[in-house]
Amino acid sequence: MLTSTSNFSDIFKSNFLENITSVSILDMVIALVLAFGIGMFIFLVYKKTYSGVMYSSSFATTLVALTMITTVVILAVTSNVVLSLGMVGALSIVRFRTAIKEPLDIAFLFWSIAVGIVLAAGMIPLAVIGSVVIGLILLIFVNRKSHSNPYIVVLRCDGHESESMAKALLTTKSERCVVKSKSAQQGLVEVNMEIRLKDDNTDFVNEIAAIKGVQSAVLVSYNGDYMG
């Protein structure tokens, strides 16, 4: 029969108390400091390369937090096999309801998670060098704007003559001009045309708007960067 003293001792021999020293304080500090540093780098790259309609500072801050949270979780998982199985079950019930509007945001989310995993696994050079390379690639290619991107020109004219003059001017100022839609009412013609510019100069919109009979001329990029 077990005595009360032995039962009391068994309580303090629990796995919970033994897990306190499973990850050293130095390892935790180094991992979290590096996770914060790389998370801030991801934050700055995201802020620099964002080209959507409305910049979300909360999402950018989430990238830093996600890097650190992932590091903490993986540190716990790598120190205890039993905990790793429980963590898989716990995380499997998590559901994210927020819709990702920009495809590039998904890359930043996976980048933050991957850095947290790699850091917690002790692969510090891979996390640092990999993040620098990814950041440079994003800075180079995402910020690279091309005048060959498609644009939509919305024309509102009072008749066929002004419409024809506007189309003729667009044809000379663009590499490609295709009518996408046209609607006509009494005294009003609205035409939507897809064009590809020869260069970055958009002053031709002012010239079209100055044509007699043209009520308005609107140039809109529809490649996902802007909405209008």
Tell me the CATH number at 165.
Answer: 3.30.70.260
Q: CB–CB of 74/83 below 8 Å? A: no
Print the domain residue range for 126.
4-142
Domain boundary among 142, 167, 202: 142
Clarify whether residues 43 and 124 are in a common domain: yes
Average of per-residue pLDDT across 166-174: 85
- Going by C-alpha positions, the residue among 175, 158, 144 that lies closest to residue 211 is 158
Q: Which amino acid is at 62?
A: T
Q: Is residue 75 part of a domain?
A: yes
For residue 210, pLDDT beyond 50: yes
Cα distances from 9 to residues 6, 15, 17, 18, 111, in angstroms, run 5, 13, 12, 13, 46
Place of tokens 């914060």: 36
The CA distance from 27 to 143, in Å, is: 37
Instruction: Quote the pTM value.
Output: 0.62
Q: What would the pLDDT profile of 187-198 be if each residue is shown by its tens digit? A: 788 888 888 887
Establish if 210 belongs to a structural domain.
Answer: yes
Q: In this predicted structure, what is the pLDDT of residue 9? A: 52
Residues 28, 76 contacting (CB under 8 angstroms): no
Cα–Cα distance measured from residue 210 to residue 215, given in angstroms and rounded to the nearest whole number: 9
- 219 in Cβ contact with 202 (< 8 Å): yes
Q: What is the pLDDT of residue 1?
A: 46
- On whether both 36 and 124 belong to a single domain, the answer is yes
Domain count, the chain: 2
Task: Tell whether 19 and 62 lie within a shared domain.
Answer: yes
My answer on whether 112 and 203 are in the same domain is no
> Which of 142, 159, 187 is the endpoint of a domain?
142
Same domain, 8 and 76: yes
Residues 97-101, mean pLDDT to the nearest whole number: 66
**pLDDT of the residue at 160:** 82
Last residue of a domain, one of 109, 142, 175: 142
**How many CA within 13 A on the CB side of residue 212?**
1
Mark whether 133 and 185 lie in a shared domain. no
Does residue 50 belong to any structural domain of this protein?
Answer: yes
Is a pLDDT exceeding 50 seen at residue 51? yes
Average pLDDT over residues 90-118: 77
pLDDT 10s digits, 67-98: 999 888 888 777 665 555 556 555 555 565 66
Higher pLDDT, 2 or 167: 167
Residues 203 and 106 in one domain: no
Q: Which position has the higher pLDDT, 64 or 6? A: 64
pLDDT computed for residue 127 by the predictor:
92
As given in the structure block, the two tokens for residue 139 are 């800075």
Residue 228 falls within a domain, yes or no?
A: no
Any long-range contacts for 101-106 (C-beta under 8 Å, 24+ apart)? 101/52, 102/52, 102/224, 103/224, 104/49, 104/142, 105/59
Res 46 pLDDT > 70: yes
For helices 25-49 and 103-120, the axis angle rounded to 10 degrees is 160
pLDDT tens column, 117-144: 899 888 989 999 999 999 999 988 886 6
Residue 186 dihedral angles phi and psi, to the nearest 5°:
-65, 110
pLDDT of 154 higher than 80: yes
Whether the CB-CB separation of 177 and 183 falls below 8 Å is answered with no
pLDDT surpasses 90 at 38: yes
Q: What pLDDT was estimated at residue 40?
A: 95
In a domain, 227, yes or no: no
At which residue do the structure tokens 């440079």 appear? 136
**Residues 115 and 157 both lie in one domain:** no
Same domain, 158 and 180: yes
